[in-house]
Amino acid sequence: MRLLHISDWHVGLSTGPHARRGDHEEVFAEIADAAKYYKPDLILHTGDVFHIGIPAVDDLNFGLASLQELAALAPVIVLRGNHDSDRLFRVFSLLLGPSSPLTFVDLPPNLADGDPIIRRPADDGRTTIALAPLPFVHHNRFVQRYIDAETQTVTFADSLGKYERTLGAMLVKGLDSAREVAIFAAHQFVQGAYKSGSERAIHV
């Protein structure tokens, strides 16, 4: 089983006055060449396709066309990152339809609503990829009741941690390790991690 993992394209990013489109085109060509060479059973993009939630039309076209080019080589699953728009991802899903090889995951799955695990058969006909997807979760949408400012972040982290453990348990429950490959994929900030400086402190 072959998996190609990609992430954080940030299409539309500029460094000061300098647009980075040339860099994106060069790197995407490398990704496409890798997909053609390795022939993965699944291509997994773990978020931040775009740099802003409502990208310019040219950036939107480039990002979506690039993903569709990869989807012509292998099934592609894209998780929403903190820079991506969940509404835009939902529109993509509606336009592409359920039979498309390009799948967008805009929101965390409802764990009370059936099986949240995405399963994709590998080309060998013997192996199945079992994917637990966890796109970015904003605390304003995850916490459903009023919480005072002092405990909001702690409560959010605890609630998200519980969600992650439950989703992970559902991923491995009944897993046939001889035939299934379990993958937990997420785009999240990690409590206690060192900050790289690539994100604004207020976001982290």
Active site residues: 83
CA–CA dist 74, 25 (Å, integer): 20
How many helices (H) and strands (E) the chain has is answered by 5, 9
Are 19 and 51 within 8 A, CB to CB? Answer: no
Residues 6+ apart with CB under 8 A from 79: 44, 45, 46, 47, 105, 133, 134, 135, 136, 185, 186, 187
Looking at residue 181, the DSSP 8-state letter turns out to be: E
CA dihedral 37, 122, 104, 57 (to 10 degrees): 20
CA–CA dist 127, 129 (Å, integer): 7
